[in-house]
Amino acid sequence: MELITVFKALSNEIRVNILIWLKEPRLHFPAEELQDYDPKLGVCVSDIKKKAGLSASTTSDYLSLLQKCGLVDATRVGQWTYYKRNEKAMATLNKMIRETF
């Protein structure tokens, strides 16, 4: 995991929020508003897009940026892509920060 790359990903409020939302999807994405949700797979792009108030393209960009630096995992199921936090990576990040600084 590249610390600088991760910090770049985290220096945007919406991307940080996405990570917070994905920590407890049921809490941040009320069931009745959820287009699609699978606890195993995560939340789909449209729902994140709606909550973030971004265009589809920006939402997709942000999510793939978070994925590229390992903080979330993506699973494509049919026409949907589900994103969920990579909890192991989040723990590694915390550890790296603690050890580096």
Partner DNA sequence: TCTGCATTTCGGAAAATACCGATATATTTG
Partner DNA sequence: CAAATATATCGGTATTTTCCGAAATGCAGA
Binding site for a copy of itself (CB under 8 A): 3-4, 7-8, 10-13, 16, 19-20, 23, 90, 93-94, 97-98, 100-101
Closer to DNA by CB, 46 or 92: give it: 46
Report d(CA 30, CA 45) in Å as an integer: 15
The option from DNA, a copy of itself, none interacting with 19 (CB < 5 to 8 A, set by class) reads: a copy of itself
Matching residue, tokens 């610390």: 3
Q: Which stretch binds DNA (CB under 7 A): 21-29, 59-67, 91-99?
A: 59-67
Q: Rule CB under 7 A: is residue 17 a binding residue for DNA?
A: no
Question: Least distance to DNA from the beta carbon of 3, Å?
Answer: 14
Q: What is the spatial order of strands in the sheet that 37-38 belongs to?
A: 37-38, 42-44, 80-85, 72-77
Closer to a copy of itself by CB, 56 or 91: give it: 91
Helix ranges (H only) for 1-101 are: 3-10, 13-21, 25-28, 45-52, 56-68, 87-100
